[in-house]
Amino acid sequence: MTIRCAPPDPDLEIAIRLASYLDCQSRALGENGFRAFVDGPVTAGLLSGLLTIFVAFIGYRIALGAIPTMRDGVGWMVRIGVVLVLMTSWPAFQALVYRVVTAGPQEVAGALLPASGLSAGRTEQQVQIAYDLMRQPRRPALEQAPVGGAATSATTPPASPQGQVTPRTMGLLDLPLAASLMVVSTVGLGASLKLMAAFLIAVAPIAILALLFRSTLGLFNGWLRGLAGAALAILAIRIVTAIEMVVIGSELVNLQASGSQGADLGPDAQALATIVLLFLVMSAVMTFAAFRMAGAIQLRGHETVPLREPVAADTMEIPVRTVEVPAAPRAGGDGNPGRTRTRSAAMADALSAAARRDQAFASTGAAPGKAANVILAAADQVAGPAWMPVGERGRRPAARRSRSAARRDGVR
């Protein structure tokens, strides 16, 4: 059902006329705009295309070796489900978003204001009454003429010796600027926030589609913050307006009572302007606080699918390839030179033999002698000579040992 708004009725008062017309326009913009946006061909093409890209990204991740967890799968299903439900079902969007923003502030105000002793009804009538009273001039009463003189009419107040109007004859003058500011700070500010919320509802499909991808999630966060801030600001303006109407009503009653009694000191005509400006500042502060509070809303995308599983340093295992190398032939042997050990293996054997000799010396506590020679000979038998053949056929069949090396090793 399409909402249609009639033009403003000029027979109605200004506050009631603006409030009713702008409220209708905000509802029409939000509901009609959302439906037109969703039913359009552009949005339908975007929905199918972005869903295809979203599923393709998941498939590419799995093809590249990523292992999705249960949390990732649940998150993907929730995203797709929320997008499909909100984009294809107006009753679901109306219950989850539209009515929360449009009707929620009024319902919350209806629960908060009576607890504070304030009126929870619509404030347009109260604003209009205060507007009429502030703009309605009051004719001062007839002044008592001096003896032998004539009475002074209320329409032509007598001048003081300096040519100025006396406070006694001023009465309650009309305040058009203060009355206009009061309507703007109450009805106008509330209607502006409703129109902003309606605009965000109308462009909601763009923000909902941005929920699919992590890179565009900031757009959805900004839309959600603006919508929540508008709803909280509407509630704040409703509370400030209810308090303002009580203060302005009390001031108007005081001004009328003081003017009708003919007091020596006339009423303070600037009190109403001061009150209106004060509550205008309060409305601005409350609006800022509402948007500041809504700015803390932030949804974060969760992606825990790595391309390869990380391995802890303490559990990392380095594969070692073991190659069996045959022992080298002994000196004077007839082994095949082609099956001899490599130079690195021979060096490793030599180092191990030297370590065993050092251990043998340390255990006996004696200098290398005959007993040490026996141990060294046994170690040499285990380790084998540290020699390498030269050339392809191994032209050096025996290990070469110098005399200085033999004396050093204690070999006789």
Dihedral of CA atoms 319, 321, 322, 323 in degrees, nearest 10, equals 180
Q: Return the pLDDT at 168.
A: 37
Q: Which two tokens stand for residue 255?
A: 């001004």
The count of C-alpha atoms lying within 13 angstroms of the C-alpha of 76, restricted to the half-sphere facing its C-beta, is 17
- Asked if pLDDT for residue 319 goes beyond 60, the answer is no
Mean pLDDT of 169-181: 64
Mean pLDDT of 290-318: 65
Measured between alpha carbons, how far is 383 from 23 in angstroms, rounded to an integer? 100
Measured between alpha carbons, how far is 123 from 15 in angstroms, rounded to an integer? 10
Q: Return the pLDDT at 214.
A: 87
Q: Return the pLDDT at 73.
A: 87
Percentage of residues in the chain having pLDDT higher than 70 = 66
Q: Return the pLDDT at 365.
A: 57
Measured between alpha carbons, how far is 5 from 20 in angstroms, rounded to an integer? 10
Write the pLDDT tens digit of every residue in 55-102. 998 898 888 888 888 888 898 899 999 999 999 888 999 999 999 999
Contact 170, 269 (CB under 8 A): yes
pLDDT band at 183 (very low <50, low <70, confident <90, very high): very high
Across the chain, mean pLDDT equals 75
Q: Return the pLDDT at 137.
A: 55
